[in-house]
């Protein structure tokens, strides 16, 4: 028994040293201060934040930490609760600044200048089926399991160079449909970041995504393309992201309700596909066409690539790129980096307790 306790203590000490080294290298204190996370008196914010880090990576709750007496902090648990409820902290800004420092100082010097760095947007269900009083708790439809769950959609913006994936910022989305919200948000000063974040949580994902992209742009995170799946891809989204200064590579639904201008006519992707001759042989794609993405009389040229579906030979997938100078195979290759965020969600739910067990 004493041996296991000693081993656990050694592990905690090693984790604590690693966390302190990380905090020092990437100047966590200044990043917290830039995000309005600081106190004028009492326990420094960095001590509380470092303690929370230690709990996560030692796979222990604060309750068990206090109960066992291991790594007991020199402040009361109420200090932690007050810190986590601070409505003036801009967590989107904090994580974005931190990601920018890691990318520019630790990853980018190892990459080739010709490598296409990308931002990836996706969401995942964050279940809270046991919860009853959580702010903005909502009934969310899980498309993977085809049933409703209580919880949130975890909308995440990540960065990838093809080898390394790093989360940049995120937000928990409730729903804009008031009927599906179990609880409403608590009252907060409308001038605070907390109030604005609660309002943002009730917006559509395609709108909230622009806020995350804008934060990444201001933090000078190096990326040329934004990747997302068919849930986010629409003419209005392509225009909105293009205005932020990024090009888009996304998958498009083959729906008859979405139109692109092809040879002067507004047509669906299926109609465009049926009008053209396909490539023969074992090419990775069947067809490539130039279209115009039209919204409110504004036009963006784009390239649509019809890709072979390796799992179903008689079907195809549609990719669209607002960078018309990219080669078709390059569009397919760059879009392949989007899978990195799926792996990230799996790791978060398996190891970082981002999924409540029922």
pLDDT value at position 6?
A: 56
Q: H/E element holding 41?
A: none
pTM given for the model: 0.89
Concatenating the DSSP letter of every residue in 88-135 gives T--HHHHHHHHHHHHIIIIIGGGS-TT---EEEEEEEEEE-TT-SS-T
What six digits make up the tokens of 37? 């996370």
Tens of pLDDT along the chain (358 residues) come to 445 555 566 777 788 888 899 999 999 999 999 999 987 788 888 889 988 888 888 777 787 777 777 777 888 889 888 888 889 999 999 999 999 999 999 999 988 878 889 999 999 988 888 888 899 999 988 877 788 889 999 999 999 999 999 999 999 999 999 999 999 998 889 999 999 999 999 999 999 999 999 999 999 999 999 999 999 999 999 999 999 999 999 999 999 999 999 999 999 999 999 999 988 877 889 999 999 999 988 999 999 999 988 777 778 999 999 999 999 999 999 999 999 999 999 988 887 766 543 3
CA angle 262, 339, 237 (to 5 degrees): 40
3-state SS, residue 161: coil
Closest CA to 269 of 289, 283, 294, 250: 289
- Residue 167 CB coordination number (10 Å): 18
Closest CA to 124 of 358, 317, 349: 349
């Amino acid at each position: 028994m004493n041996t296991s306790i000693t081993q656990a203590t050694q592990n905690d000490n090693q984790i604590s040293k690693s966390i302190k080294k990380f905090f020092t290298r990437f100047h966590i204190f200044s990043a917290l201060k830039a995000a309005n996370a600081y106190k004028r008196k009492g326990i420094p914010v960095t001590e509380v934040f470092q303690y929370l880090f230690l709990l996560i990576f030692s796979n222990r709750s604060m309750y068990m930490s206090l109960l066992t007496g291991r790594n007991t902090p020199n402040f009361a648990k109420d200090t932690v609760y007050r810190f986590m409820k601070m409505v003036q902290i801009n967590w989107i800004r904090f994580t974005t600044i931190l990601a920018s420092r890691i990318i520019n100082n630790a990853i980018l010097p190892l990459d080739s200048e010709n490598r296409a760095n990308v931002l990836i947007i996706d969401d995942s269900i964050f279940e809270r089926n046991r919860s009853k009083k959580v702010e903005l708790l909502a009934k969310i439809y899980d498309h993977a399991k085809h049933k409703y769950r209580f919880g949130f959609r975890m909308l995440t913006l990540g960065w990838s160079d093809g080898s390394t994936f790093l989360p940049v910022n995120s937000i928990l989305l409730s729903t804009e449909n008031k009927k599906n919200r179990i609880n409403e948000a608590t009252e907060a000063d409308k001038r605070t970041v907390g109030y604005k974040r609660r309002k943002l949580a009730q917006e559509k994902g395609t709108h909230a995504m622009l806020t995350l992209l804008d934060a990444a742009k201001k933090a000078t995170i190096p990326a040329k393309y934004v990747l997302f799946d068919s849930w986010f891809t629409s003419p209005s989204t392509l225009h909105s992201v293009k205005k932020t200064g990024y090009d888009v590579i996304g998958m498009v639904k083959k729906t008859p309700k979405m139109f692109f201008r092809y040879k002067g006519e507004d047509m669906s992707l299926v109609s465009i596909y049926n009008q053209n001759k396909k490539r023969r042989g074992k090419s990775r794609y069947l067809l490539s066409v130039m279209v115009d993405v039209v919204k409110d009389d504004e036009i963006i040229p784009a390239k649509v690539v019809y890709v072979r579906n390796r799992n179903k030979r008689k079907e195809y997938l549609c990719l669209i790129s607002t960078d018309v100078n990219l080669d078709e195979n390059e569009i397919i290759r760059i879009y392949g980096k989007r899978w990195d965020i799926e792996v990230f969600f799996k790791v978060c739910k398996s190891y970082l307790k981002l999924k409540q067990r029922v």
